[in-house]
Each structure stands twice: as C-alpha cells, then as structure tokens.
Homo-oligomer: A and B are copies of this chain.
Amino acid sequence: MSKTAYQDVERRFAEIVDLSSGVEILSWDQEVMMPPGGAETRAQTMATLQGVIHERMTSPDLVSTVRTAQRGRAKLTPRQRRGLELVRRSVDKATCVPADLARELSLAQSRGLEAWRVARTNSDFGAFVPALETIVDLVRRKAQLRAGKNGALYDALLDDYEPGMTTERLDELLDELEAITVPLVRKVVQSDVRVDVRPFVGKFKIDAQRDFARQVSEAMGIRFDQGRLDLSTHPFCGGTGPGDVRMTSRYDENDMRGGLFGVIHESGHGLYEQGRDPNKRRTPLGGAISMGIHESQSRLWENNVARGKPFWEAWYDRFIDAHPKLRKFDVDAIWRAANIVEPSMIRVEADELTYNLHIILRTRIERDLISGEIDVTDLPARWNESMQSMLGITPADDAEGVLQDIHWAMGAIGYFPTYSLGNLYAAQFMEAARSSIRGLDRKIAKGDMLTLRTWLADNIHRHDQTFTAEKIVKRVTGKPLGTEAFARHIRKKVKAIYG
C-alpha cells in the first residue's frame, strides 16, 4: 500500500521533472539564442509553464499521495525515504506560495531581466528601480509565506539555494572568511612584488582562445555529444542534466582570463551535471545537492586545479602553441599571472582572494534588503560604501557597481553566498582528493585530469541528492564544512607568490 503510494509520488514527480526540463532549455535559449523581439512572448510562456509546474506541485492529488506515502514510511527503503522527504519539501515550499504570487514572480523576473539589461547598458540604476522594487516585494512576500510567523526571512530564501544552511551559520562562516581574507589582501597591496600580467593581458586571437579552452574542457572530461558550449554575456551552465548540459562563456581579445577560467569554471559545473546518474534523472533523488556544492565543482577546477602550477606544467606547450608570442614566459610566470591578486570592481573578474569580499558585501546587502533595513533606492550608495571599506575602491558608475550582476534581476536573492560556500567546499574536497589519490598533483602535471574527474563523479556527482550537503561533506572529507582548508590553500598560494 505505502509502496504503491510512493510509486505514485514518483510517477507524478517525473512529469514535474519533464516540465522543469522544458523550463531549463527555454531559459538557456532566452539567454543564448532568443532575439530581443521574443522577450515578451517568452516571459508569458515561462510564467504559464512555471504556473503549470506550481499547479502540479500543489495539486491535492500529489499532496494527499505524499501524505499516504509518509504514513507508510516505515516500509520504504532509505533511498525512498530520502526521495519522499525531497518531494515533501518541494511540495511544502510550493503550497505555501499561492499560484498568483508564483505567476507574478515569474513575470517580474522575466521583465526584471529586460529592465536590468537596459539599465546596465546605460548605467542608469534609476531605470531598474521599479522592476527591482517589484521583485524585492514579491520575493519578500514569498519569504514571509515560507518562513511562517517567527522564521527569519533570509533563511527561507537561503533554503532555495543551500538547503540546510542557516543565516546564523552562514554569518559565522563569512565572518571567518573575511577575517582570513582581509589581512591577506592588505599584505598583497602593501607587498613590493609586482606580478607580470602579460601572459594573459595583451592582444590574443579569440579563435585561439576558444580552441584552447575547449581542449582543456575536453581533457577535464566534458563530453560534447552530451552538451554544448556557446557564447553569452553572462556565462553560466544550464541544461537538463546528464545527456544535455548547456555551458556558455565569453572571450575578451585583451584579457584571456575571463574566457579561459570561465570555460574551466563552467566545465566544472558541466562535469557535475554530466556525472549525475541518468537513472535518477526523472526521480525525486535526481538533481544537484545545493548551489554551494555545485559551485564547489566549478571552483575546484577553476582555482584549485587550473590556477595551480601542475596544471600549467601539463598545458604550457599547448598554451604557447595557441599564443606563440608568449614563448618568452615560463610555466612559473604564467602560473603567477593566473594568480594575480588585485582589488577590482567586477565580481566575475575578481581574483580568488578578493572574490569572497565581493560575495560578503552582496550577502550583507541583500540580507538587509530583505529584512527591510534598507530600500532598493539605497542600494547604489550602500554598494559603493561597502566597496570602499572592504576593497578600498569605488565604482565609477552603477554599471561597474550595483548593476553588474544579473541575480537580483532574476529574483535570485539568497543565491550569492553559495559562491563563497562553493570556495570553502572546494578547498575541503580538494584536500580530500589529494589524500585519496596518490600523487594527484603529479597526475595533473602530466595532463591526467580524468582521475580527479572520476573521483569527483564517484564520490559526489553520481549520488545526485541521495545525501544532504552536510552528509556528503562529512562522507567525503570526514569533517563538517569549515574555513580551515580554504585558509590553508589561500595562505599557501599568497605566500608563494607575494612572499
């Protein structure tokens, strides 16, 4: 009886997965392929489709079947119990948001994106204010419904991106991270060491950049019969999971770092998606554990692998073949150039060290925005003050300040901190990989990245959501998430380069 009820839950959930896969491809198309004239039609299509998903997620049939299945929990296998728990959480989240609000949110997001694009192009924050106010208002209403009477609003939002994380624990981690970072940044800024940036900054053919990046991506294990790599203004990794992964990037003739490390970053996400279990895809267990775990996979490849010296030992010759005028630089010079630390305006272009300050800044701002401590119109001033106090620089205009990121325009509030959580997870996973795989760095230096890919797939990717983030970190690293591994990693690197 209870088994039948769970099977019914799975069957209903599979159709929700199908529809969500449709949303994934339509979102990718919206960013990568859609002509501008398609925006309004797409907004309506997305809103209606999200509405159908919401309708199914909250349907009395599903709700009562979940309840029946829960009464028979005792007879379920542990995996089925985890599946049921995941469905129940999704159903609960959906049922406490009325269909009208869900639809309004979807429309506000599509429209927010368009308004943000225009505002960013003209560096005109004022033009974005009405759309963003609508979004913040709707997101806050959603959070209130989710959090209940006494719950913290920001916790309710965090839960969408990092299930199990609390604002309290997050604040502790970010405070520690700030305490690790600030003295290192001061040390670098005051250092006499000047790293030569010319291995990456100059004039480089886009084709050569793209071909090299694609070679690296393939060597990491990305399968292009199960995915694509395209261009977009805001690089991301989407798609429908194993079999169809959609990565994007952008290349700059004058600075290769964004293109190369961007492709490696998105390929890290892509490997997670391609490494997931195809047999779990249409089941409640299918999917990534959290955005933080997802980000750990991109960061691990970008920072812990491709900004390490072994990587450059392996790839030096092919890099020089792609850009022959770089022959005067040796492996060491290229590795140093890949790790230059310099406070800068744009998060996605920030170095590994200062990056987390950008995240801490955004997290604190959005937390205060949601609590009502500040208003949308306060954002530019608050942003610029924070940049000055944390990084010692002030944006010239809002385009390189508060308008630089797409997240708030998408209604993705609570998302930013997962980037720094990703950095923490990544350092901890990489330490575990090093102690599990004999001579991992020697392998990477010989061009073998597949051993690491396989280890990650076996230990993380193929489990999908079988384990919580907390559990997978303990399984893989033996400890809960902390800042120690990252502190060791970053201090060692900064010391090696800046003394």
Return the CB mask of A331-353 against B: 1 if under 8 Å, else 0.
00000000000000000000000
Q: Which residue of B lies closest to A20 (CB)?
A: B45
Q: Which residue of B lies closest to A239 (CB)?
A: B38
Q: Which one of B35, B226, B241 contacts A244 once the chains associate, using CB atoms below 8 Å?
A: B35
Q: Which one of B38, B52, B281 contacts A52 once the chains associate, using CB atoms below 8 Å?
A: B52
Q: Which residue of B lies closest to A36 (CB)?
A: B225
With A44-B18, A44-B282 known as contacts, the answer to whether A240 contacts B49 (CB < 8 A) is: no
Q: Is A223 engaged at the interface, CB distance under 8 Å to the other chain?
A: yes
A484 proximity list for chain B (CB < 8 A):
none
From 358 to 386 in chain A, residues with beta carbon under 8 angstroms from any chain B beta carbon are none
Contact A228 B33 (CB under 8 A): yes
Q: Is A317 engaged at the interface, CB distance under 8 Å to the other chain?
A: no
With A33-B228, A224-B35 known as contacts, the answer to whether A22 contacts B45 (CB < 8 A) is: yes
Contact A241 B18 (CB under 8 A): no
Contact A226 B38 (CB under 8 A): yes
Q: Is A202 engaged at the interface, CB distance under 8 Å to the other chain?
A: no
Question: In the complex, A281→B243 CA distance in Å?
Answer: 34
Contact B22 A240 (CB under 8 A): no
Question: Size class of A's contact patch?
Answer: 35 or more
Q: Is A47 engaged at the interface, CB distance under 8 Å to the other chain?
A: yes
A22 proximity list for chain B (CB < 8 A):
22, 26, 45, 48-49
Contact A226 B25 (CB under 8 A): no
Q: Which one of B18, B40, B223, B224 contacts A45 once the chains associate, using CB atoms below 8 Å?
A: B18
Contact A243 B38 (CB under 8 A): yes
Contact A243 B37 (CB under 8 A): yes
Contact A225 B29 (CB under 8 A): no
Highest count of chain B CB atoms <10 Å: which of A14, A25, A227: A25
Min CB–CB distance A136 → chain B (angstroms): 26
From 247 to 301 in chain A, residues with beta carbon under 8 angstroms from any chain B beta carbon are 281-282
Question: In the complex, A353→B18 CA distance in Å?
Answer: 45
Please give the count of copies of this chain that the complex contains. 2
Q: Is A127 engaged at the interface, CB distance under 8 Å to the other chain?
A: no
Question: In the complex, A40→B47 CA distance in Å?
Answer: 25
Min CB–CB distance A106 → chain B (angstroms): 11
Q: Which residue of B lies closest to A21 (CB)?
A: B45
Q: Which one of B29, B45, B227 contacts A19 once the chains associate, using CB atoms below 8 Å?
A: B45
Contact A244 B49 (CB under 8 A): no
Q: Is A443 engaged at the interface, CB distance under 8 Å to the other chain?
A: no
Contact A41 B226 (CB under 8 A): no
Q: Is A470 engaged at the interface, CB distance under 8 Å to the other chain?
A: no
Q: Is A175 engaged at the interface, CB distance under 8 Å to the other chain?
A: no
Q: Is A321 engaged at the interface, CB distance under 8 Å to the other chain?
A: no
With A19-B48, A45-B19, A49-B18 known as contacts, the answer to whether A29 contacts B25 (CB < 8 A) is: yes
Q: Is A42 engaged at the interface, CB distance under 8 Å to the other chain?
A: yes
Contact A37 B228 (CB under 8 A): no
A104 proximity list for chain B (CB < 8 A):
none
Question: In the complex, A154→B18 CA distance in Å?
Answer: 33
From 104 to 134 in chain A, residues with beta carbon under 8 angstroms from any chain B beta carbon are none
Q: Is A326 engaged at the interface, CB distance under 8 Å to the other chain?
A: no
Contact B241 A35 (CB under 8 A): no
Q: Which residue of B lies closest to A44 (CB)?
A: B18
Q: Which residue of B lies closest to A242 (CB)?
A: B37
Min CB–CB distance A247 → chain B (angstroms): 11
A241 proximity list for chain B (CB < 8 A):
41
Q: Is A34 engaged at the interface, CB distance under 8 Å to the other chain?
A: yes
Q: Is A15 engaged at the interface, CB distance under 8 Å to the other chain?
A: yes
Question: In the complex, A376→B37 CA distance in Å?
Answer: 43
A42 proximity list for chain B (CB < 8 A):
21, 25, 240, 244
A40 proximity list for chain B (CB < 8 A):
243
Q: Which residue of B lies closest to A240 (CB)?
A: B41
Min CB–CB distance A178 → chain B (angstroms): 42
A14 proximity list for chain B (CB < 8 A):
44
A38 proximity list for chain B (CB < 8 A):
226, 239-240, 243-244
Contact A244 B19 (CB under 8 A): no
Contact B281 A41 (CB under 8 A): yes
Min CB–CB distance A137 → chain B (angstroms): 24
Question: What 13 additional pairs, Cβ within 8 angstroms, besides A19-B52, A37-B244, A52-B52?
Answer: A18-B44, A18-B48, A19-B48, A21-B45, A22-B22, A22-B26, A29-B33, A35-B225, A37-B242, A41-B243, A41-B281, A42-B244, A45-B240
